[in-house]
Structure 1
Amino acid sequence: MSSMRHLLDLCKRRGFLFQSAEIHGGLRGAYDYGPLGVELKRNLSQEWWNSVVYQRSDVVGIDTAIITPPAVLKTSGHVDQFTDEMVDSKLTKERFRPDKAPPLRLDDRMRIPILAPDKPTAKLWESAIRTQFAKGAHITRNGKEIHLQVARMEEDKIVLKAEDNANQTVGQQDTQKSSATDSSSLSIPYRGYVDPNTNSPFLTESRPFNLMFKTYLDPIDPIDKVITTTIEAQSLPPSSPSSSSSSSTDLTRTRQLVDKALYPSLTYLRPETAQGVFINYATVQRSHPHLRIPFGIAQIGKSFRNEIRLEHAIFRTPEFEQMELEYFVAPWQAQDQFQAWREQRMGWWRYFARNKGRFRERPHAPDELAHYSSGCIDVEYLFPWGWGEVEGIANRGDFDLSRHSEATGIKLQYTDAVVMQERQQREKLTGKKETENLDRERFTPHVVESSCGLNRAMLALMLDAMDVVDESGKSVLLKPEDIVEDGNNNDDNVQTNIPKGQRIVMRLHPRLAPVKVAILPLVSNNEELAEICNAIGSELRQELEVNVSVEMQSTTVGRRYYRMDEIGTPWCITIDYDTLKDGSVTIRDRDSTEQRRIHKDEVLEIVRDGLRLNPKKGSFLKWVKDWDGQKPVN
């Protein structure tokens, strides 16, 4: 399996992904998508939109505002409940989520190894442990590693051996020495996890942390309001002068005054796109009266979460894009529709995957489900660090529409006019009023949600497509120790971080490839060849509306082939002197490296058939054979 390091190196060299504001030192968790990255991301989102919206008659799109008033998110529960638990490492000062942290690791000598980044830091940490966190504990240091000797593990604490006698635990030696160390100082609280980077058990208590970004719509700087309100609060008499807790009480009062002053201009950057769909449910229904239950509203847009821990490049970032579908169904349809969308979405992922086995479903256990949800599954990809979520499909019930209806007094219900008319006709014929099954005429719809991270999808499918081949074209297993550093970063060198004789091939599905066709003149300074290249390129762009690259560099055709392989281009068309004589060109397939002479007028038809996955009999393209008989998932 190719490593993240190799992929990120390729992304930077070839223009898929850049560190944002790199010339100013960068910003943690912020990335810019380069010319190839933006094409891949656009293709991926378009394929999602095609599958979820264009290939169906029951789904429409919407694009809602990013800046969201607090009333919306208060109603949805985000203001009060959209939190993660957060823990601080006392040694590194870094924060992390305890539910993602590993358990304590002991070596074979019953010691806790704490790994520092370097020797000077290890020395500082050792001093802090001796003087602050575990006074009197038996501690040793070897290079970058600090070792604490463990006497025993208990349910909620770690008992360390003492410095004066490593074979005695706390309490045993306290009765023997007048200068005994307090036994409590050698008992470390343990809650089942440690710092994931260092294995340190010296942590703060966990506390909730709201993940939403606040902002303020006000011409007056909110900091000015904070300063003014704080000064005014300080002029007020103390709440309880004789109380030892007066300082804390006054701080709470000041915070309340600040919140009150800022609230009129308070807004949030949306943490998800879904709420924009729910609050527009009635508007969409009124403007599209032909939509009958079940129907869906889809949206692609940016969301923001103040994540405690940013990791794995674009896998977890504070700013990300979501592709979400809210599918509104009758209550009695919800479970069947949940199963149908579960199958449809998993089929979509596997349709574009090279290694289908690296995608799986993970049903949520009952204790993982939200109180309003009756079912949820994650679509996961096997990343280099383990399984990670790329999409969630959930049966949300009527929670969202009911909450917004209660908060606003506006009934967010669905009335089935057809069912109502049928009942009324029966009543006319029978002369009797029907009182049963009226809840099938008017009801609050339930929601089946599909929520997919576009950035994670791009990362997963690039890792899935990335292959390393030897000189014969055979796939090889790339190991971290195989990395070859090359400070020159020559654009023509496609082997900057892999062993000599090996190269990268990005085997992206042709519909996702950022460049669909590369057109290569045999020589770059021949005007006649250049004219034919540009003519073929223009025809492909106009007829197929795809990204075509005309490569006029003076490097060899072989090097240009390899460069196109590395960025995932399915086909290369080479124009040479025979083209001037008989109109023939060479078409090369990325995955098989097979080449064939065809007439230049056939290029358009072959590429069109290839992108439609509808090859004609006898096609020489290997990927066409591999995909023969498959149809896009609807």
Structure 2
Amino acid sequence: MAQAQRFRALLDLCKRRGFLFQSAEIHGGLRGAYDYGPLGVELKKNIAQSWWRRNVYFRDNVVGIDTSIVTPHNVLKASGHVDEFTDALVDCLLTKERFRPDKAPPINFKQDKGQSSGKISIISPDKETAKLWEQKIQNELAPGAVVTRQGKEVLLHVKEMTTTTYEPATNSPFLTDERPFNLMFKTFLDPIDPIDRVIKTTIENDTSDARTIRDQVDNVLRPSTVYLRPETAQGVFINFNQVMRTMKTKLPFGIAQMGKSFRNEIRLEHAIFRTPEFEQLELEYFTAPWESSAWFQYWQKDRLAWWLEHANNKADIRTRNHEADEMAHYAKGCMDVEYKFPWGWGEVEGVANRGNYDLTQHMKATGENFEVLEDKPIVSSHLKETALITSVPQEPTRFVPTVIESSCGLNRALLAFLCDAFQQVQEPGKESRTVLKLHPRFAPVKCAIMPLTGNAEFQPYVEKVARSLRRQGLYTVIEAQKLRIGKRYYRHDEIGTPFCITVDHQTLEDQTVTIRDRDTAEQHRIPITDVSSIINEKIWGDEAPELE
């Protein structure tokens, strides 16, 4: 199955079985917005809980926090987001498409043989649109130009190509100049409608200069201006002293946060891969500067190990170190974890050495002191002998901690693990079927209990098994549809349920049930009393909790 076709089949499965729905679909939908259905919300929760267990519960020096989504202007001014969090934006005057210049292929210029002249092929979605575009080029965009049309292809005849290094996916050359575009969603925390102030300021302004009017409007609205946070990290940084004081923490320590962030993306793509609303799993790890390089190396290895542990196809996960011209000006280093999606490699997590930039910026803006005093500077016992430990002070010293950040996109993680798990199985003499080989820890439904028939005598045993699993926090369903047991197995293979347990006539005789493994299709007979312990061991392995 071709990669694009395979991805479409996955998205169809997600909609059909309740992983992902187009948001507000009955009202025409909202571009780039998705709702997570009953299975999708479980999968997302399971991935997030695995991340939280590994990074918070399994450590003695990481705590959690949950900060406000609505963020004051001053916070994001200090962090640099108000002034610097921008992309270049280009509009196409023909198609009304909006995009980043670096995200499009070069123009398709069909050069005449032996000549500098040729044609630019502009691809429209259909013949009717091609007619409209042809008229617009001739009447508005390039009067007098030679334009022809072949089906849904508009051909613009040109004498020669000069220098255009970008264009939209339609191949149109009718582009505006680049301009900066701030990626944050701005809103106003004010009982007074801000539009009234905009109108009043515009009327009172005695100049026609748009820049002057805009500056005056911004000044009037600034006291009530807030933003939907573009990242969860800044909420952690501004609470640094609060956490240290209340939790009595000492370096090195981390603050973890899961939550939604918002970016007004120019181009939304690949379902939930790039959307304006997304969730982040972020860890800000605060270290002494002489240990920061060692901790940076540690977290790169640790985070990659988590991805590899839960993936089927480990070759589809790689790391990539950023080049110097890719990194933020304050970063000391950055590594991406990438997954090989059907359209190519894409970032799913970043690990960065942010230096002490963020804490320093908020200190400058507020006067708050984020310096830490080390009376007896030492090397953390968590670190092994390494050449990366440098310049340990021999006397008491004060410093602003260095931050090592791990930032994972939960939506992208969900999409990556779905792509990794999606398999089309072809069995001899049968139609192909889908098996979603999600790691058992991630599977939305952990167990399906299946009475062989609808006989009432099976019900007490079905309920007993389900109750024992649910008490362990395992999402368990009772699958009592009037289908052959094989078809019920296949339905749960399709949504990734790792274990199916069948209650049958033998159960009535010896209190045993059949457990079926999704990945091997092997079946084993086990006592009802052993179901909970066996399932827990299969799901959690070394992480299995102690059962009562």
The match for 1:581 is: 509
1:7 match: secondary structure: helix
Mark the CA change 1:338 to 1:559 in structure 2 (over 3 Å): closer, same or farther.
Answer: same
Give the C-alpha shift of residue 37 in structure 1. Answer: 0.6
**Equivalent residue for 1:506, pick from 428, 436, 439:** 436
Contact 2:376 2:395 in 1 (8 A): no
Is 1:267 aligned to residue 231 of structure 2? no
**Equivalent residue for 2:251, pick from 293, 296, 320:** 293
331-340 or 318-327, which deviates more: 331-340
The amino acid across from 1:461 in the alignment is: F
**Equivalent residue for 1:354, pick from 312, 327, 336:** 312
Contact 1:518 1:551 in 2 (8 A): yes
The amino acid across from 2:404 in the alignment is: V
Give the C-alpha shift of residue 439 in structure 1. Answer: 7.4
The amino acid across from 2:509 in the alignment is: K
Is 1:99 aligned to residue 102 of structure 2? yes
**Aligned residue runs from structure 1 range 368-407, under 5 A:** 368-407=326-365
Give the C-alpha shift of residue 107 in structure 1. Answer: 4.5
The match for 2:322 is: 364
Unaligned runs of 5+ in 1: 157-189, 240-246, 421-435, 474-499, 617-634
The match for 1:195 is: 168
The match for 1:533 is: 462
Mark the CA change 1:387 to 1:401 in structure 2 (over 3 Å): closer, same or farther.
Answer: same
The match for 1:316 is: 274
The amino acid across from 1:111 in the alignment is: K
Is 1:128 aligned to residue 136 of structure 2? yes
Contact 1:315 1:456 in 2 (8 A): yes
Mark the CA change 1:614 to 1:286 in structure 2 (over 3 Å): closer, same or farther.
Answer: closer
Aligned mates of 1:77, 1:387 — CA distance in 2: 29
Is 1:67 aligned to residue 40 of structure 2? no
1:367 match: secondary structure: coil
Give the C-alpha shift of residue 151 in structure 1. Answer: 4.3
**Equivalent residue for 2:189, pick from 217, 229, 232:** 217
Mark the CA change 1:138 to 1:343 in structure 2 (over 3 Å): closer, same or farther.
Answer: same
The match for 2:214 is: 255
Aligned mates of 1:615, 1:575 — CA distance in 2: 28
The amino acid across from 1:588 in the alignment is: R
Contact 2:451 2:502 in 1 (8 A): yes
Is 1:555 aligned to residue 483 of structure 2? yes
The match for 1:228 is: 200
Give the C-alpha shift of residue 108 in structure 1. Answer: 7.2
Contact 2:260 2:279 in 1 (8 A): yes
Give the C-alpha shift of residue 472 in structure 1. Answer: 4.2
351-360 or 589-598, which deviates more: 589-598
1:315 match: secondary structure: coil
Contact 2:109 2:161 in 1 (8 A): no
The match for 1:38 is: 41
The amino acid across from 1:599 in the alignment is: P
**Equivalent residue for 2:239, pick from 280, 291, 299:** 280
Q: 1:34-58, CA deviations, whole angstroms, 9 ceiling, x for partnerless residues? A: 1111110000000001111111111
Give the C-alpha shift of residue 597 in structure 1. Answer: 2.2
The amino acid across from 1:81 in the alignment is: E
2:541 match: secondary structure: coil
Is 1:545 aligned to residue 503 of structure 2? no
The match for 1:204 is: 176
Is 1:48 aligned to residue 51 of structure 2? yes
The match for 1:181 is: none
Aligned mates of 2:44, 2:186 — CA distance in 1: 28
Aligned mates of 2:470, 2:275 — CA distance in 1: 34
Contact 1:462 1:506 in 2 (8 A): yes
Contact 1:292 1:416 in 2 (8 A): no
Contact 2:280 2:409 in 1 (8 A): yes
Give the C-alpha shift of residue 599 in structure 1. Answer: 2.3
Contact 2:85 2:182 in 1 (8 A): yes
Is 1:590 aligned to residue 490 of structure 2? no
Aligned mates of 1:144, 1:276 — CA distance in 2: 50
Aligned mates of 2:45, 2:33 — CA distance in 1: 19
Aligned mates of 1:412, 1:105 — CA distance in 2: 54
Give the C-alpha shift of residue 122 in structure 1. Answer: 0.6
Aligned mates of 1:230, 1:133 — CA distance in 2: 32
1:357 match: secondary structure: helix
Aligned mates of 2:376, 2:497 — CA distance in 1: 51
1:282 match: secondary structure: helix
The match for 1:462 is: 418
| Aligned residue-pair number | 523
Contact 2:104 2:167 in 1 (8 A): yes
**Equivalent residue for 1:142, pick from 143, 150, 163:** 150
Give the C-alpha shift of residue 260 in structure 1. Answer: 2.5
The amino acid across from 2:135 in the alignment is: S
Mark the CA change 1:575 to 1:450 in structure 2 (over 3 Å): closer, same or farther.
Answer: same
Q: 1:206-225, CA deviations, whole angstroms, 9 ceiling, x for partnerless residues? A: 11000111111111222233
219-228 or 548-557, which deviates more: 219-228
1:501 match: secondary structure: coil
**Equivalent residue for 2:453, pick from 523, 545, 548:** 523
Aligned mates of 1:331, 1:128 — CA distance in 2: 60
Aligned mates of 2:76, 2:533 — CA distance in 1: 51
Contact 1:471 1:501 in 2 (8 A): yes
The amino acid across from 1:131 in the alignment is: N
Give the C-alpha shift of residue 563 in structure 1. Answer: 0.8
Aligned mates of 2:521, 2:495 — CA distance in 1: 15
Unaligned runs of 5+ in 2: 113-117, 379-391
Contact 1:53 1:59 in 2 (8 A): yes
Aligned mates of 1:401, 1:136 — CA distance in 2: 59
Aligned mates of 1:338, 1:31 — CA distance in 2: 34
Aligned mates of 1:579, 1:615 — CA distance in 2: 30
Structure of greater Rg:
1
Mark the CA change 1:349 to 1:302 in structure 2 (over 3 Å): closer, same or farther.
Answer: same
Superposed CA RMSD in Å reads 2.0
Contact 2:93 2:176 in 1 (8 A): yes
Is 1:603 aligned to residue 531 of structure 2? yes
Which runs of at least 4 in structure 1 moved beyond 4 Å after TM superposition?
107-110
Contact 2:502 2:514 in 1 (8 A): yes
The match for 1:431 is: none
Give the C-alpha shift of residue 409 in structure 1. Answer: 1.2
The match for 1:23 is: 26
Q: 1:106-147, CA deviations, whole angstroms, 9 ceiling, x for partnerless residues? A: 347553221101111111112222333344444331101122
